[in-house]
Amino acid sequence: MATETLPSTEDVEIEDQGTVRSYLPMYKIIMWNDDVTTMEFVIRVLVKLFGKDYHTAERLMYEIHASGAAHVATLPLEQAEFKVEQVHAAASLEQFPFTCTIEPA
């Protein structure tokens, strides 16, 4: 059986400053308000896909509604992209134009 090697974060030596560990860059997920998507759908997405409790999801939904957008999570790039795809797929299934974007944290 072949041994599988997984990528790892390596230590990087910097002259006399010691060892520095490199980390994956983080990205913010921003949800945007629209005039069609229901408040219930936004809360459901925040609970089911982002693991928020109901009261946090409701607070974020009202922030999105009142401010036009809200930062709902911070994740590494691949995870953030996957979450955005999940949100867009769920919105598409229910024929909502709901959108999310990512930006560097």
**pLDDT for 62-86, tens place per residue?**
999 999 999 999 999 999 999 999 9
Q: pTM higher than 0.85 for the full model?
A: no
Average pLDDT over every residue of 50-64? 97
Q: Give the C-alpha separation, 29 to 73, whole Å.
A: 5
Domain ranges for the chain, please list them.
23-104
DSSP string across 15-77: GGGEEEE--PPEEEEEEE--SSS-HHHHHHHHHHTT---HHHHHHHHHHHHHHSEEEEEEEEH
CATH of 23-104, one of 2.40.40.20, 3.40.50.620, 3.30.1390.10, 3.40.50.300: 3.30.1390.10
